Structure 1
Amino acid sequence: MKNLDRRRESSRFAARDRRGKEADIFTDLKVVIPIVDEATVTHVDRIAILRVALTLCRLRKVATKCIFF
């Protein structure tokens, strides 16, 4: 039983650590990506941040092709 409790605790710690790292990454993305003025929006969900980041990556890819074409 003690071994099972140790595994559960270890798993909980790993999940907490993973969530913390994800939160840090999304905070960094939110700073870099121009979404919306924070005075207007209090919370931007993670999917919205990922969509805007992906769109910016695609735009940069297309823009570099157009410039050198």
Structure 2
Amino acid sequence: MDSKPKAPKEKRRNNEKRKEKSRDAARCRRSKETEIFTDLAKALPLTNEQISQLDKASVMRLAIAYLKVREMVDLGSCMSQPAKRCAGVLPAVDSVCLCM
């Protein structure tokens, strides 16, 4: 059983197909990633104009900061106070996030 080496043209063609497949997969991953970042940005308490100015790193930074502030508020004094007294705290957190 002799195994013949592939012709250079065939190797080149297979290599090009593999590269194209890899590029398509990377393009698909980037598209999904962009969609996820867009969804995350829309979940932030920002206007559409402000969202359009954000890059991916800014979206992550603001989302993390927003979650940390909400966690502090949830764990803070509001836990021991009646809900009526804390009703304005979460909208205030949204306003703070707008300033960041």
Q: TM-score range by the shorter chain?
A: 0.7 to 0.9
Matches within 5 A, 1:3-14: 3-14=14-25
1:33 aligns with 2:44: yes
8 A Cα contact 1:35 1:49, kept in partner: no
What residue number does 1:20 align with? 31
- How many percent identity over aligned positions? 34
What residue number does 1:57 align with? 67
* Alignment length (residue pairs): 68
Q: CA 1:23–1:12 in 2, change beyond 3 Å: closer, same or farther?
A: same
- Unaligned 5+ residue runs, structure 1? none
Which residue of 24, 48, 51 corresponds with 2:58?
48
Could you list the per-position Cα deviations for residues 29-66 of structure 1 after superposition, in whole angstroms to 9, with x for gaps in the alignment? 1211123551x675211111111100011112212211
Q: CA 1:31–1:42 in 2, change beyond 3 Å: closer, same or farther?
A: closer
Q: 1:42 & 1:61 partners in 2: Cα distance?
A: 26
* Runs of 4+, deviation exceeding 3 Å: none
Structure with larger Rg:
2
Query: Could you tell me the TM-score, scaled by structure 1's length?
Result: 0.78
- Unaligned 5+ residue runs, structure 2? 1-11, 81-100
Query: Could you tell me the TM-score, scaled by structure 2's length?
Result: 0.57
